[in-house]
Structure 1
Amino acid sequence: MFSYAVLPRILGSLFYYSPEKPEVKALMSCLPTLADLFPWCDREQLEVLCASWPLPDDASLAWQFSMLFEGQGEMPIPPWGSVWLEKDNLLMGETTADYRIFLQSQGMVFDARHNEPEDQFGLMLLAYSAMLEANNNAGADRLLEVYLLPWGCRYLERLQGNGLSPFYAQLAVVTSRYLQDVVQQRGLDVVPKRLFLP
């Protein structure tokens, strides 16, 4: 029996928290077992992917995280939905406000660290995991259909080819497969939205 909230919690944590955090470092040892945590459509392929995860040294991984997720220098692939969905590519636009209202309607209040927008990719996966854990399947489905997947699929596609971090490219591949399987297994209907980043 799978606990469906576990895998998105692990993936979300890897996208959201710095690899310098002890709890994130601890997750690295479970990467080869991700194939055991979800009923994948192609389990064998996931076993191969997870068995060959490229792990750089701690300092390199921390630098890669900073470049890709914290905005050190020019951020090549922004991890916030509003940047993809807002015409001016701005943080905390109307789409972020809409998502915040949705979270509040589901009984979730975001405790922002450093005043960060709620629509960070990993943070959205963590919210999805929390809804699954609370047996709020309708809210979890809506989060994916309306708020995460309309931009998240393109984000993951870009992250796979980031040319900066093989570790996070691999994370994008595994997460993309996971979300594709969730869409198929749960029969989700993703809302099409215009993206303002290539």
Structure 2
Amino acid sequence: MQNVNDTSTELSLADVNAMSKIFGSLFYFPLTHENNQAIITLLKGCDDLEHNGFADFVHAVESDTNDALNDDFFLLFEGGETMVAPPWGSVYLDKEQVVFGDSTVRLRQFLRANNIELDTGMREPEDQFGLMLFAVSQLIEQSQEPLIVERLLTDHLLPWCLRYLELVEKHAATNTYQHLAALVKDWCLSIQDAWQLKPLSLKVYR
């Protein structure tokens, strides 16, 4: 399994595709969901667990209870009256800090232009962080065109996701989500460094 802290220039589309699927699932479904339970089981069986960056996350999952993980998922991804770390890009990139904002529309246009469909069966913003990682994976599998994948990252994801992940790490009530946020932040930075990406300089409002 890829070392998520790898900044090698050899970081391949296949590596990013695989990790986008894993992290997309971990940030879209509760950790108790069957998809994520399968991922966690796979991670536990990795021979290089102590070296690929996942050790702290896996150890935390084993320590936190399912109830605690589900409560944290609700706090972080669904929320009540106040969301401490909203997972939608437009909350960060639009001055009004609303869902379905202008940046969501721009992302939707980009996805449609590249024949990417994120059909979840619900009316929800396409710029949910986990969904955007699924979009990265789909784009890699459908186009195999690095420049298009890079544009999704530089124009639509990287301008806000590091701030989002900082907030998840800060406000998570469980060690599991704290470690997961730190892990994915390092992974995003490793892609940015390895591929020498220059994210759009957009104002972040949170």
Deviation at 1:158, TM superposition (A): 1.6
User: Are the aligned partners of 1:83 and 1:90 in contact in 2 as well (CA < 8 Å)?
Assistant: yes
Q: Deviations over 1:2-56 (max 9, x none)?
A: 732111110011001123321122112233568969xxxxx94726545643442
Asked if 1:189 is matched to 2:188, the reply is no
Q: CA RMSD in A?
A: 2.4
Which residue matches 1:122?
130
Structure 1 residues 81 and 35, CA, compared in 2 at 3 Å: closer, same or farther? farther
Choose the corresponding residue for 1:167, options 176, 182, 193: 176
User: How do 1:1-198 residues align onto structure 2 when only pairs under 5 Å count?
Assistant: 3-4=14-15, 5-32=17-44, 44=51, 46=53, 48-50=55-57, 52-55=59-62, 56-134=64-142, 135-197=144-206
**Residue type matched to 1:24 in 2?**
N
- Distance (Å, rounded) in 2 between the aligned partners of 1:142 and 1:73: 34
Which residue matches 1:40?
none
Structure 1 residues 140 and 32, CA, compared in 2 at 3 Å: closer, same or farther? farther
**Residue type matched to 2:66 in 1?**
D
Structure 1 stretches of 5 or more lacking a match?
Answer: 38-42
- Distance (Å, rounded) in 1 between the aligned partners of 2:60 and 2:68: 15
- Distance (Å, rounded) in 2 between the aligned partners of 1:176 and 1:35: 23
User: Are the aligned partners of 2:25 and 2:35 in contact in 1 as well (CA < 8 Å)?
Assistant: no
**Residue type matched to 1:53 in 2?**
A
Structure 2 stretches of 5 or more lacking a match?
Answer: 3-13
* Moved beyond 4 Å, runs of 4+: 32-37
- Distance (Å, rounded) in 2 between the aligned partners of 1:34 and 1:126: 23
The structure showing larger relative contact order (alpha-carbon pairs under 8 Å, at least 6 residues apart) is: 2
- Distance (Å, rounded) in 2 between the aligned partners of 1:9 and 1:53: 21
TM-score normalised over the length of structure 2: 0.83
